[in-house]
Amino acid sequence: MRGEAGPQVTANSARRVGTSGRSAHSPNRPKAAGFGLVCPKDLAEKLKARCHAKHADVNISIVIAKTEYEAWFSFDERHQGGPGLVHGGLVAAALDEACGLLATWYRFPTVTARIFVRYRRPVHINTELLARAELTSERGRRLRVAAQIGDGNEVLAEARAAFLHVPLEHFLATPEGKAAAEAWARRLDGL
């Protein structure tokens, strides 16, 4: 999706991490990465990003755990708020996406009930960033998730979020939800 705004997204970038909190990702990874292990184009489409992997050809190595998530990504010049700095709304959106993906993996489907974002340092464009999320608690339908974005040396922004598990019918009741369900059914039939 050339010429559209959003972080760069590639395959092999998102990963669930083991319960030890260790990941196979090296801080010296080549530039690239983004969110969307479940569907790599999701964040790209939401933020109008370039997607460097074809949706049907994505190969992502995963360490499976339900309580932690991490993904490498970057913002570019199109995401500036101030000169050389990422707009705070996009930082918050990336934190919400990391928290939301984890919550949805843990209990499908979920919606954001609230999110608190703390900006600790400016986030610079053209910098490889690591987003991490961790499930901190669950009670009934409510899940609590903490997340952070860092540059490998320090935490630049962090979030605490609450998600609610909702019945799937919540989404299927709209025309858009029905269309999405039919599209997923067609994809699954093709597997």
- DSSP per residue, 44-93: HHHTT--B-S-GGG--------SSEEEEEEB--GGGBSSTTBB-HHHHHH
pLDDT per residue as tens digits for the range 142-162: 999 999 999 989 999 999 999
* CA distance readout (Å), 57 to 40, 41, 144: 11, 12, 33
- Between 35-44, 114-123, 178-187, the lowest mean confidence (pLDDT) is in 35-44
State the pLDDT at residue 187.
Answer: 85
Sequence-distant (6+) residues with CB within 8 A of 169 are: none
Domains and CATH numbers, the chain: 14-166 (3.10.129.10)
- Per-residue tokens: 181: 């369900």
| This prediction's pTM | 0.66
State the pLDDT at residue 125.
Answer: 96
pLDDT per residue as tens digits for the range 87-126: 999 999 999 999 999 998 889 889 999 999 999 999 999 9
Considering only residues 45 and 77, tell me which one the structure prediction assigns the higher pLDDT.
77
- Cβ(110)–Cβ(99) under 8 Å? no
